[in-house]
Structure formats: structure tokens, C-alpha cells
Amino acid sequence: MDSILDKKESLTPITGGCFCGAIKYKINGKLRDARSCHCPDCRKAFSAQASAYALVNSEDFSWISGKNLITSYESKKGEGLLFCSVCGSTLCGTYNGVIQGVTLGCVNGAPEIEIGMHIYVGSKANWEIIPDGVIKYQKGAPENV
Ligand SMILES: [Zn+2]
Ligand SMILES: [Zn+2]
């Protein structure tokens, strides 16, 4: 009985969407490598003290509704973000136009993921207090983490 339940739960896609509800997506797979970046660029891009972001396999990701309302911004390095043009929620990160990850703030419910590391804490905002006990790096994550 328990094993049937576990299997069913693991097959339920992760869903997410924007603040106004126009844009919805699902992920037929897992979130991975969740991290929070405290650099000034991420603070601006996520309108928050830091990013909260997890990687997905792009082939697992699909839009349910509102795809026509998506707007995007891409940096010269090819890193981009997708937004809702109605409410402004930041939904996804892209690389050269391909979806690479999702913002955890727009994921619905309680997905099986935890932020594994805090990066660029050396350039965090002076008003932010990062709790003790979290894994943190002054700059980016070391290789092979
Ligand atoms: Zn919206
Ligand atoms: Zn950053």
C-alpha cells in the first residue's frame, strides 16, 4: 500500500505558476541543485534578498497555460529569465533560449527539494541576515559540488 502511494506521488508532476495565475507550467521530473545566490544581479532579477532557484531537465518542462504572456530578458552571456508580462513574476531561467531552471518562489506546494547552498554571500545586501548553519560560499560554488 505504501509503495503504491509512493509511486503515485513520484509520478505527480511538479507544477508552478505566476502571481496573477495566467501562466502555469508542469515538470515531469525532479528539481535539482537548488541554490540561493545573493549577488546584486540576482537580487535585482528576483526582486528579493537573493535568488531561490533549482535546475530542471528542459525536456521535462512544459507550459500548461499563458505561454503567449511570457516575456523575457537575456544577458549578453546568454543567460536569460522568463517573466509574466501581466504580473511580473520571474518564472524560469534560460541559457541560449533553453529552459534551464525554475524560480522556487513560483513552484506550487511542497516539492521535494531544499536549498543546498548559499552563494555570493560576500556580496549580499547589508540588510540581509543569513542564518547560521547553512552552507555558504563567499563567491560561487567550488567546482564539483
Ligand atoms: Zn502573471
Ligand atoms: Zn547571483
Please, which residues have CB within 8 angstroms of residue 144's CB and are 6 or more apart in sequence?
none
Question: Which pLDDT value is given to residue 10?
Answer: 56
Whether the CB-CB separation of 121 and 130 falls below 8 Å is answered with yes
CATH code for 13-123? 2.170.150.70
Per-residue pLDDT of the chain in tens (145 residues, 90 and over written 9):
455 555 555 568 999 999 999 999 999 999 999 999 999 999 999 999 999 999 999 999 999 999 999 999 998 889 999 999 999 999 999 999 999 999 999 999 999 999 999 999 999 999 999 999 999 999 998 875 5
Q: Could you give the CA distance from residue 49 to residue 57 in angstroms, rounded to a whole number?
A: 26
Domain ranges of the chain: 13-123
CA–centroid distance, 109 to ligand 2, in Å, is 25
In 3D space, the residue among 89, 109, 103 whose CA is nearest the CA of residue 50 turns out to be: 103
Give the pTM.
Answer: 0.88
**Residues by chain with Cβ below 5 Å of ion ligand 1:** 18, 20, 22, 84, 86-87
